[in-house]
Amino acid sequence: MSLETLTSESVESIQVVVVGGGNAGFTAAHAAAVRGRSVVLLEKAEKDAAGGNSFYTAGATRIAHDGLEDLAGLVEPDERHAVTVVPPYSEDEYAADLAKVTEGRNDPDLTKVLVSESQSTLRWLNSLGLKYRLMYERQAYERPDGSYLFWGGLHVGNVGGGEGLIEDHTRVAGELGIDVRYGHAAKSLIMTDGRVTGVVVETPEGTKKLQAESVIMTAGGFESNPQWRREHLGEGWQNAKVRGTPCNTGDMIAAALQVGAARGGDWNSCHSVQWDAFTAKNESNRELTNRLTRQSYPLGIIVNTEGKRFLDEGADFRNYTYAKYGKEILKQPGSVAYQIFDASLRPLLRSEEYEMPGVSEVVADTLEELAAKLGIDAESLEKTVSDFNNSIDRGIPLDPNVKDGRAANTEPVKSNWASPIESGPFYAYGVTCGITFTFGGVKADTHGRVLNEAGEHIGGLYAAGEMLGGLFSANYPGGSGLAAGCVFGRRAGSLA
Protein backbone atom coordinates (compact mmCIF):
# COMPACT_ATOMS: atom_id res chain seq x y z
CA MET A 1 0.00 0.00 0.00
CA SER A 2 1.43 3.42 -0.89
CA LEU A 3 1.31 6.36 1.49
CA GLU A 4 -1.21 8.10 -0.74
CA THR A 5 -3.70 5.24 -0.39
CA LEU A 6 -3.62 5.14 3.40
CA THR A 7 -7.08 5.83 4.75
CA SER A 8 -7.87 8.01 7.74
CA GLU A 9 -8.59 4.85 9.74
CA SER A 10 -4.99 3.75 9.18
CA VAL A 11 -3.51 7.05 10.43
CA GLU A 12 -2.76 7.45 14.14
CA SER A 13 -1.35 10.43 16.02
CA ILE A 14 1.25 9.91 18.77
CA GLN A 15 3.63 12.25 20.57
CA VAL A 16 6.77 10.07 20.47
CA VAL A 17 7.47 7.02 18.30
CA VAL A 18 10.53 4.92 19.11
CA VAL A 19 11.65 2.53 16.35
CA GLY A 20 13.51 -0.47 17.76
CA GLY A 21 13.02 -2.43 20.96
CA GLY A 22 16.54 -2.97 22.25
CA ASN A 23 18.35 -1.33 25.14
CA ALA A 24 18.64 2.11 23.48
CA GLY A 25 15.03 2.09 22.33
CA PHE A 26 13.60 1.18 25.70
CA THR A 27 15.84 3.71 27.46
CA ALA A 28 14.65 6.44 25.10
CA ALA A 29 11.04 5.40 25.61
CA HIS A 30 11.43 5.46 29.40
CA ALA A 31 12.97 8.94 29.28
CA ALA A 32 10.10 10.28 27.19
CA ALA A 33 7.44 8.53 29.27
CA VAL A 34 8.63 9.87 32.62
CA ARG A 35 8.19 13.35 31.13
CA GLY A 36 4.54 12.55 30.55
CA ARG A 37 4.83 11.97 26.82
CA SER A 38 2.65 9.36 25.10
CA VAL A 39 5.06 6.81 23.66
CA VAL A 40 4.70 3.99 21.15
CA LEU A 41 7.67 1.66 20.74
CA LEU A 42 7.76 -0.29 17.47
CA GLU A 43 9.55 -3.64 17.50
CA LYS A 44 10.13 -5.32 14.14
CA ALA A 45 10.29 -8.82 15.64
CA GLU A 46 7.48 -10.73 17.22
CA LYS A 47 7.50 -10.84 21.01
CA ASP A 48 9.28 -14.19 21.25
CA ALA A 49 12.13 -12.86 19.08
CA ALA A 50 12.29 -9.29 20.40
CA GLY A 51 14.98 -7.33 22.20
CA GLY A 52 17.33 -6.52 19.35
CA ASN A 53 21.01 -7.25 19.81
CA SER A 54 20.69 -6.38 23.49
CA PHE A 55 18.98 -9.72 24.18
CA TYR A 56 22.04 -11.58 22.89
CA THR A 57 24.60 -9.75 25.02
CA ALA A 58 26.07 -10.65 28.38
CA GLY A 59 24.71 -7.35 29.67
CA ALA A 60 28.16 -5.88 30.38
CA THR A 61 28.02 -2.09 30.64
CA ARG A 62 31.15 0.08 30.89
CA ILE A 63 30.80 3.01 33.28
CA ALA A 64 33.19 5.39 35.02
CA HIS A 65 33.37 5.00 38.81
CA ASP A 66 35.64 5.39 41.84
CA GLY A 67 35.76 1.77 42.95
CA LEU A 68 33.53 -0.67 44.80
CA GLU A 69 32.32 1.82 47.41
CA ASP A 70 31.21 4.16 44.64
CA LEU A 71 29.11 1.36 43.14
CA ALA A 72 27.16 0.83 46.35
CA GLY A 73 23.45 1.16 45.78
CA LEU A 74 23.83 0.34 42.10
CA VAL A 75 25.04 -3.27 42.10
CA GLU A 76 23.21 -6.06 43.87
CA PRO A 77 24.73 -7.17 47.22
CA ASP A 78 27.06 -10.17 47.03
CA GLU A 79 28.95 -11.84 49.89
CA ARG A 80 32.06 -11.83 47.71
CA HIS A 81 32.21 -8.03 47.84
CA ALA A 82 34.05 -8.30 51.18
CA VAL A 83 37.02 -9.98 49.44
CA THR A 84 36.82 -8.10 46.14
CA VAL A 85 38.94 -5.31 44.69
CA VAL A 86 37.34 -3.21 41.97
CA PRO A 87 39.90 -0.66 40.75
CA PRO A 88 38.53 2.82 40.08
CA TYR A 89 37.85 3.56 36.42
CA SER A 90 37.95 7.28 35.81
CA GLU A 91 36.31 9.31 33.07
CA ASP A 92 39.78 10.11 31.74
CA GLU A 93 40.65 6.40 31.54
CA TYR A 94 37.37 5.68 29.79
CA ALA A 95 38.00 8.40 27.21
CA ALA A 96 41.60 7.27 26.74
CA ASP A 97 40.48 3.67 26.15
CA LEU A 98 38.00 4.81 23.50
CA ALA A 99 40.66 6.86 21.77
CA LYS A 100 43.21 4.04 21.96
CA VAL A 101 41.12 1.26 20.47
CA THR A 102 39.53 3.44 17.76
CA GLU A 103 42.94 4.93 16.86
CA GLY A 104 41.61 8.37 17.67
CA ARG A 105 38.64 8.23 15.32
CA ASN A 106 36.02 8.49 18.08
CA ASP A 107 33.97 11.68 18.11
CA PRO A 108 35.28 13.75 21.07
CA ASP A 109 31.93 15.37 21.89
CA LEU A 110 30.04 12.08 21.93
CA THR A 111 32.85 10.55 23.97
CA LYS A 112 32.73 13.31 26.60
CA VAL A 113 29.02 12.80 27.12
CA LEU A 114 29.29 9.02 27.24
CA VAL A 115 32.01 8.88 29.88
CA SER A 116 30.56 11.67 32.04
CA GLU A 117 26.97 10.36 32.09
CA SER A 118 27.55 6.60 32.05
CA GLN A 119 27.17 6.00 35.77
CA SER A 120 24.40 8.54 36.41
CA THR A 121 22.38 7.05 33.55
CA LEU A 122 22.68 3.54 34.94
CA ARG A 123 21.65 4.80 38.37
CA TRP A 124 18.61 6.42 36.78
CA LEU A 125 17.69 3.14 35.05
CA ASN A 126 18.29 1.33 38.33
CA SER A 127 15.85 3.71 40.02
CA LEU A 128 13.25 2.69 37.44
CA GLY A 129 13.77 -1.00 38.13
CA LEU A 130 16.72 -2.30 36.09
CA LYS A 131 19.06 -4.49 38.14
CA TYR A 132 22.88 -4.58 38.00
CA ARG A 133 25.66 -6.66 39.54
CA LEU A 134 29.41 -7.21 39.46
CA MET A 135 30.32 -9.64 36.66
CA TYR A 136 32.52 -12.09 38.57
CA GLU A 137 32.34 -14.90 36.03
CA ARG A 138 33.50 -12.67 33.17
CA GLN A 139 35.72 -9.96 34.59
CA ALA A 140 37.60 -11.41 37.56
CA TYR A 141 39.64 -14.50 38.36
CA GLU A 142 39.68 -15.89 41.89
CA ARG A 143 43.15 -15.47 43.37
CA PRO A 144 44.93 -18.13 45.47
CA ASP A 145 43.89 -16.41 48.71
CA GLY A 146 40.21 -16.54 47.73
CA SER A 147 39.97 -12.86 46.83
CA TYR A 148 38.90 -11.34 43.52
CA LEU A 149 40.46 -8.59 41.42
CA PHE A 150 38.46 -7.04 38.60
CA TRP A 151 40.26 -5.99 35.45
CA GLY A 152 39.91 -4.22 32.12
CA GLY A 153 37.67 -1.31 33.15
CA LEU A 154 34.51 -3.38 32.68
CA HIS A 155 32.92 -4.39 35.96
CA VAL A 156 29.14 -3.94 35.94
CA GLY A 157 26.46 -5.87 34.09
CA ASN A 158 22.75 -6.59 34.14
CA VAL A 159 21.33 -9.25 36.41
CA GLY A 160 20.38 -12.07 34.05
CA GLY A 161 22.59 -10.80 31.23
CA GLY A 162 20.96 -9.60 28.03
CA GLU A 163 17.81 -11.59 28.70
CA GLY A 164 17.50 -9.98 32.12
CA LEU A 165 18.14 -6.56 30.61
CA ILE A 166 15.27 -6.87 28.13
CA GLU A 167 12.99 -8.46 30.73
CA ASP A 168 13.60 -5.51 33.07
CA HIS A 169 13.14 -2.95 30.30
CA THR A 170 9.88 -4.55 29.19
CA ARG A 171 8.49 -4.61 32.72
CA VAL A 172 9.42 -0.96 33.30
CA ALA A 173 7.83 0.01 29.98
CA GLY A 174 4.58 -1.56 31.13
CA GLU A 175 4.74 0.32 34.41
CA LEU A 176 5.29 3.61 32.58
CA GLY A 177 2.41 3.05 30.17
CA ILE A 178 4.56 2.69 27.05
CA ASP A 179 2.71 1.03 24.18
CA VAL A 180 5.07 -1.68 22.89
CA ARG A 181 3.96 -3.07 19.53
CA TYR A 182 5.60 -6.26 18.30
CA GLY A 183 5.70 -7.34 14.68
CA HIS A 184 5.65 -3.68 13.60
CA ALA A 185 8.38 -2.88 11.06
CA ALA A 186 8.94 0.81 10.31
CA LYS A 187 9.79 1.24 6.65
CA SER A 188 10.02 4.95 5.91
CA LEU A 189 9.86 8.38 7.46
CA ILE A 190 7.16 10.95 6.74
CA MET A 191 8.35 14.50 6.03
CA THR A 192 6.21 17.61 6.23
CA ASP A 193 7.74 21.00 5.46
CA GLY A 194 11.25 19.71 6.06
CA ARG A 195 10.43 18.06 9.39
CA VAL A 196 9.90 14.38 10.24
CA THR A 197 6.28 13.98 11.29
CA GLY A 198 5.87 10.23 11.49
CA VAL A 199 6.63 6.79 10.12
CA VAL A 200 5.06 4.32 7.74
CA VAL A 201 4.83 0.92 9.39
CA GLU A 202 4.11 -2.60 8.20
CA THR A 203 1.90 -4.25 10.83
CA PRO A 204 0.09 -7.59 11.07
CA GLU A 205 -3.06 -5.68 10.06
CA GLY A 206 -1.46 -3.98 7.07
CA THR A 207 0.46 -0.79 6.32
CA LYS A 208 -0.23 2.15 8.64
CA LYS A 209 0.93 5.73 9.07
CA LEU A 210 1.83 6.91 12.56
CA GLN A 211 1.91 10.67 12.90
CA ALA A 212 4.31 11.81 15.60
CA GLU A 213 5.84 14.93 17.04
CA SER A 214 9.15 13.08 17.31
CA VAL A 215 10.65 9.86 15.96
CA ILE A 216 13.59 8.24 17.76
CA MET A 217 15.42 5.69 15.64
CA THR A 218 17.10 2.88 17.59
CA ALA A 219 16.78 0.11 15.02
CA GLY A 220 20.42 -1.02 14.96
CA GLY A 221 22.98 -1.22 12.20
CA PHE A 222 23.13 -3.28 9.00
CA GLU A 223 25.02 -6.34 10.20
CA SER A 224 22.16 -8.68 9.27
CA ASN A 225 22.20 -7.54 5.65
CA PRO A 226 24.80 -9.62 3.75
CA GLN A 227 24.63 -7.38 0.68
CA TRP A 228 25.35 -4.24 2.70
CA ARG A 229 28.12 -6.05 4.62
CA ARG A 230 29.83 -6.98 1.38
CA GLU A 231 29.36 -3.48 -0.06
CA HIS A 232 30.60 -1.53 2.96
CA LEU A 233 32.85 -3.92 4.91
CA GLY A 234 34.38 -5.75 1.98
CA GLU A 235 34.51 -9.06 0.17
CA GLY A 236 34.06 -12.04 2.48
CA TRP A 237 31.96 -10.24 5.07
CA GLN A 238 28.81 -11.66 3.52
CA ASN A 239 29.95 -14.98 5.03
CA ALA A 240 30.23 -13.76 8.62
CA LYS A 241 27.93 -15.30 11.20
CA VAL A 242 25.29 -12.98 12.67
CA ARG A 243 25.56 -13.16 16.45
CA GLY A 244 22.41 -11.26 17.30
CA THR A 245 19.08 -10.31 15.86
CA PRO A 246 18.34 -11.02 12.19
CA CYS A 247 16.23 -7.83 12.11
CA ASN A 248 19.06 -5.30 11.81
CA THR A 249 19.08 -4.95 8.03
CA GLY A 250 19.62 -1.20 7.78
CA ASP A 251 16.05 -0.28 6.84
CA MET A 252 15.87 2.79 9.07
CA ILE A 253 19.37 3.92 8.16
CA ALA A 254 18.21 3.89 4.54
CA ALA A 255 15.01 5.72 5.51
CA ALA A 256 17.00 8.40 7.32
CA LEU A 257 19.40 8.88 4.41
CA GLN A 258 16.41 9.21 2.10
CA VAL A 259 15.15 12.24 4.03
CA GLY A 260 18.55 13.91 4.03
CA ALA A 261 20.37 12.55 7.08
CA ALA A 262 24.15 12.59 6.91
CA ARG A 263 26.14 9.43 7.36
CA GLY A 264 27.98 9.14 10.65
CA GLY A 265 30.83 7.01 11.90
CA ASP A 266 32.95 4.38 10.17
CA TRP A 267 30.89 2.49 7.60
CA ASN A 268 33.83 0.23 6.77
CA SER A 269 34.33 -1.49 10.11
CA CYS A 270 32.34 -3.33 12.73
CA HIS A 271 32.32 -5.21 16.02
CA SER A 272 33.22 -8.83 15.30
CA VAL A 273 34.34 -11.64 17.58
CA GLN A 274 35.61 -15.19 17.67
CA TRP A 275 32.51 -17.32 17.35
CA ASP A 276 31.86 -21.05 17.51
CA ALA A 277 32.48 -22.23 13.95
CA PHE A 278 30.82 -25.61 13.90
CA THR A 279 27.94 -25.78 16.36
CA ALA A 280 24.60 -26.23 14.62
CA LYS A 281 22.44 -23.09 14.58
CA ASN A 282 25.32 -20.75 15.32
CA GLU A 283 23.48 -17.62 14.18
CA SER A 284 20.83 -15.62 16.08
CA ASN A 285 20.55 -18.40 18.66
CA ARG A 286 18.23 -17.18 21.42
CA GLU A 287 18.86 -20.18 23.65
CA LEU A 288 22.68 -19.96 23.71
CA THR A 289 22.96 -16.21 22.87
CA ASN A 290 26.38 -14.98 24.00
CA ARG A 291 27.61 -18.44 25.02
CA LEU A 292 28.72 -19.05 21.43
CA THR A 293 31.56 -16.55 21.85
CA ARG A 294 35.02 -17.84 22.77
CA GLN A 295 36.60 -15.19 24.98
CA SER A 296 39.31 -17.02 26.95
CA TYR A 297 41.74 -16.84 24.04
CA PRO A 298 44.26 -14.57 25.89
CA LEU A 299 45.25 -17.62 27.94
CA GLY A 300 46.09 -19.91 25.02
CA ILE A 301 47.16 -19.69 21.40
CA ILE A 302 45.18 -19.31 18.17
CA VAL A 303 46.30 -21.11 15.00
CA ASN A 304 44.87 -21.18 11.50
CA THR A 305 44.22 -24.29 9.43
CA GLU A 306 47.89 -24.28 8.44
CA GLY A 307 48.88 -24.66 12.10
CA LYS A 308 50.33 -21.14 12.33
CA ARG A 309 49.73 -18.33 14.80
CA PHE A 310 48.77 -15.01 13.22
CA LEU A 311 48.04 -12.52 16.02
CA ASP A 312 49.04 -11.49 19.53
CA GLU A 313 46.53 -13.26 21.78
CA GLY A 314 47.81 -11.33 24.81
CA ALA A 315 48.10 -7.84 23.35
CA ASP A 316 45.72 -6.47 25.96
CA PHE A 317 42.83 -7.53 28.17
CA ARG A 318 40.24 -9.24 26.00
CA ASN A 319 37.92 -6.24 26.53
CA TYR A 320 40.14 -4.26 24.18
CA THR A 321 40.89 -6.88 21.51
CA TYR A 322 37.90 -9.22 21.20
CA ALA A 323 35.79 -6.91 19.02
CA LYS A 324 38.48 -6.73 16.32
CA TYR A 325 39.82 -10.30 16.30
CA GLY A 326 36.78 -11.71 14.51
CA LYS A 327 37.98 -9.76 11.48
CA GLU A 328 41.37 -11.42 11.76
CA ILE A 329 39.75 -14.86 11.75
CA LEU A 330 37.79 -13.93 8.62
CA LYS A 331 41.10 -13.30 6.81
CA GLN A 332 42.42 -16.80 7.52
CA PRO A 333 42.08 -19.76 5.10
CA GLY A 334 38.46 -20.88 5.16
CA SER A 335 37.73 -18.10 7.68
CA VAL A 336 38.35 -20.63 10.47
CA ALA A 337 40.92 -20.86 13.25
CA TYR A 338 41.43 -22.89 16.42
CA GLN A 339 41.96 -21.77 19.98
CA ILE A 340 44.29 -24.27 21.65
CA PHE A 341 44.84 -24.88 25.36
CA ASP A 342 46.53 -27.59 27.37
CA ALA A 343 45.33 -29.40 30.49
CA SER A 344 46.77 -26.80 32.85
CA LEU A 345 44.88 -23.96 31.16
CA ARG A 346 41.56 -25.71 30.58
CA PRO A 347 40.20 -25.07 34.13
CA LEU A 348 40.66 -21.32 33.65
CA LEU A 349 38.33 -21.07 30.65
CA ARG A 350 34.93 -19.45 31.02
CA SER A 351 32.54 -22.25 31.82
CA GLU A 352 29.53 -20.47 30.31
CA GLU A 353 31.22 -20.51 26.90
CA TYR A 354 33.51 -23.54 26.85
CA GLU A 355 31.09 -25.91 28.54
CA MET A 356 27.94 -24.91 26.66
CA PRO A 357 25.74 -27.60 25.11
CA GLY A 358 27.10 -28.71 21.73
CA VAL A 359 30.38 -26.84 22.07
CA SER A 360 32.81 -27.45 19.18
CA GLU A 361 35.52 -29.03 21.30
CA VAL A 362 38.25 -31.38 20.07
CA VAL A 363 40.35 -33.22 22.66
CA ALA A 364 43.49 -35.29 22.13
CA ASP A 365 46.27 -36.72 24.27
CA THR A 366 49.03 -35.49 21.96
CA LEU A 367 49.52 -32.57 19.61
CA GLU A 368 50.02 -35.01 16.75
CA GLU A 369 46.65 -36.59 17.46
CA LEU A 370 45.04 -33.16 17.84
CA ALA A 371 46.42 -32.05 14.47
CA ALA A 372 45.03 -35.16 12.82
CA LYS A 373 41.58 -34.55 14.28
CA LEU A 374 41.65 -30.93 13.11
CA GLY A 375 42.98 -31.72 9.65
CA ILE A 376 46.12 -29.65 10.28
CA ASP A 377 49.63 -30.70 9.30
CA ALA A 378 51.09 -32.16 12.48
CA GLU A 379 54.64 -31.02 11.79
CA SER A 380 53.50 -27.43 11.28
CA LEU A 381 51.43 -27.37 14.47
CA GLU A 382 54.17 -28.99 16.54
CA LYS A 383 56.75 -26.47 15.27
CA THR A 384 54.41 -23.56 16.08
CA VAL A 385 53.87 -24.85 19.60
CA SER A 386 57.55 -25.67 20.12
CA ASP A 387 58.69 -22.21 18.99
CA PHE A 388 56.05 -20.64 21.21
CA ASN A 389 56.92 -22.71 24.28
CA ASN A 390 60.66 -22.15 23.93
CA SER A 391 60.28 -18.38 23.71
CA ILE A 392 58.33 -17.86 26.94
CA ASP A 393 59.88 -15.92 29.80
CA ARG A 394 59.00 -18.44 32.50
CA GLY A 395 60.63 -16.34 35.19
CA ILE A 396 57.50 -14.17 35.29
CA PRO A 397 54.53 -15.75 37.09
CA LEU A 398 51.23 -16.04 35.22
CA ASP A 399 48.56 -13.66 36.54
CA PRO A 400 45.47 -13.26 34.33
CA ASN A 401 44.15 -10.44 36.55
CA VAL A 402 46.84 -8.02 35.35
CA LYS A 403 48.88 -7.43 32.23
CA ASP A 404 51.68 -9.58 33.60
CA GLY A 405 54.30 -9.08 30.88
CA ARG A 406 54.81 -12.84 30.66
CA ALA A 407 55.66 -12.81 26.98
CA ALA A 408 56.42 -15.34 24.27
CA ASN A 409 59.06 -13.66 22.13
CA THR A 410 58.28 -15.49 18.93
CA GLU A 411 56.59 -14.35 15.72
CA PRO A 412 54.01 -13.03 16.27
CA VAL A 413 54.83 -12.10 19.84
CA LYS A 414 52.43 -12.88 22.64
CA SER A 415 52.73 -9.91 25.01
CA ASN A 416 51.05 -11.22 28.16
CA TRP A 417 49.79 -14.44 29.77
CA ALA A 418 52.03 -16.76 27.71
CA SER A 419 51.79 -20.28 29.08
CA PRO A 420 53.43 -23.29 27.42
CA ILE A 421 51.14 -25.66 25.57
CA GLU A 422 52.76 -28.86 26.81
CA SER A 423 50.55 -30.87 29.18
CA GLY A 424 48.04 -33.28 27.67
CA PRO A 425 45.23 -33.65 27.04
CA PHE A 426 45.08 -30.78 24.57
CA TYR A 427 41.89 -28.88 23.72
CA ALA A 428 40.95 -27.09 20.50
CA TYR A 429 37.92 -24.92 19.78
CA GLY A 430 37.05 -24.01 16.20
CA VAL A 431 36.19 -20.34 15.74
CA THR A 432 35.04 -18.17 12.88
CA CYS A 433 33.97 -14.52 12.57
CA GLY A 434 30.79 -13.55 14.37
CA ILE A 435 29.55 -10.05 13.54
CA THR A 436 27.89 -8.11 16.35
CA PHE A 437 27.08 -4.69 14.94
CA THR A 438 28.30 -2.23 12.34
CA PHE A 439 29.95 1.05 13.33
CA GLY A 440 28.46 3.19 10.56
CA GLY A 441 25.09 4.87 11.01
CA VAL A 442 23.62 8.34 10.91
CA LYS A 443 25.18 11.52 12.20
CA ALA A 444 23.67 13.21 15.22
CA ASP A 445 24.65 15.72 17.88
CA THR A 446 25.20 14.83 21.52
CA HIS A 447 21.45 14.92 22.18
CA GLY A 448 20.73 12.42 19.44
CA ARG A 449 19.27 15.02 17.08
CA VAL A 450 19.92 13.75 13.56
CA LEU A 451 21.89 16.10 11.32
CA ASN A 452 21.83 16.66 7.58
CA GLU A 453 24.90 17.16 5.38
CA ALA A 454 24.95 20.86 6.27
CA GLY A 455 25.15 20.03 9.97
CA GLU A 456 21.61 21.20 10.62
CA HIS A 457 19.07 19.36 12.74
CA ILE A 458 16.37 17.46 10.90
CA GLY A 459 13.37 18.48 12.96
CA GLY A 460 11.59 15.71 14.82
CA LEU A 461 14.26 13.04 14.15
CA TYR A 462 16.56 11.46 16.73
CA ALA A 463 18.92 8.47 16.80
CA ALA A 464 20.58 6.38 19.50
CA GLY A 465 22.16 2.98 19.96
CA GLU A 466 23.89 1.26 17.07
CA MET A 467 22.26 3.66 14.58
CA LEU A 468 24.26 6.55 16.02
CA GLY A 469 27.59 6.65 14.21
CA GLY A 470 30.74 8.30 15.50
CA LEU A 471 31.82 6.57 18.70
CA PHE A 472 33.54 3.48 17.33
CA SER A 473 35.92 2.63 14.51
CA ALA A 474 37.89 -0.58 13.84
CA ASN A 475 37.48 -1.70 17.45
CA TYR A 476 35.68 -0.83 20.66
CA PRO A 477 36.08 -1.26 24.44
CA GLY A 478 33.82 -4.03 25.75
CA GLY A 479 30.61 -2.81 27.37
CA SER A 480 30.67 0.65 25.80
CA GLY A 481 27.91 -0.22 23.31
CA LEU A 482 25.25 -0.85 25.93
CA ALA A 483 26.50 2.18 27.88
CA ALA A 484 26.14 4.39 24.79
CA GLY A 485 22.65 3.04 24.15
CA CYS A 486 21.65 4.02 27.67
CA VAL A 487 23.26 7.47 27.66
CA PHE A 488 22.15 8.64 24.22
CA GLY A 489 18.82 6.88 24.41
CA ARG A 490 18.07 8.80 27.59
CA ARG A 491 19.24 12.06 26.02
CA ALA A 492 17.05 11.60 22.95
CA GLY A 493 14.03 10.63 25.01
CA SER A 494 14.54 13.62 27.29
CA LEU A 495 14.07 15.98 24.33
CA ALA A 496 11.61 14.19 22.08
Residue closest to 89 by CA, chosen among 113, 110, 61, 108: 61
Structure confidence at residue 3 (pLDDT): 43
Structure confidence at residue 226 (pLDDT): 98
Question: What is the rounded distance in angstroms from the CA atom of residue 88 to the CA atom of residue 148?
Answer: 15
CATH of region 3-222+439-495, choose from 3.40.50.300, 3.50.50.60, 3.55.50.30, 1.10.1040.10: 3.50.50.60
* Domain boundaries along the sequence of the chain: 3-222+439-495, 271-434
3-state secondary structure (DSSP) of residue 267 = coil
Structure confidence at residue 10 (pLDDT): 66
Cβ atoms of 462 and 217 within 8 Å: the answer is yes
Structure confidence at residue 14 (pLDDT): 96
Structure confidence at residue 280 (pLDDT): 92
Listed in order, strand segments (DSSP E) in 232-300 are 241-242, 263-264, 270-276
The CATH class given to the 271-434 domain equals alpha beta
Question: What is the rounded distance in angstroms from the CA atom of residue 442 to the CA atom of residue 13?
Answer: 26
What lies within 8 Å, CB to CB, of 6 at 6+ separation is 200, 207, 208, 209
Cβ atoms of 392 and 301 within 8 Å: the answer is no
Listing DSSP states for 146-189 in one string gives: S-EEE-TT--EEETTHHHHHHHHHHHHHHHHT-EEEET-EEEEE
Question: What is the rounded distance in angstroms from the CA atom of residue 114 to the CA atom of residue 342?
Answer: 40
pTM of the predicted protein model: 0.95
3-state secondary structure (DSSP) of residue 436 = strand
Identity at 398, one-letter amino acid code: L
What Cα–Cα distance (Å) separates residue 88 from each residue in 7, 18, 64? 58, 35, 8
Structure confidence at residue 11 (pLDDT): 78
Positions in the chain short of pLDDT 50: 1-8
What lies within 8 Å, CB to CB, of 365 at 6+ separation is 424, 425, 426
β-bridge partners, 95: none
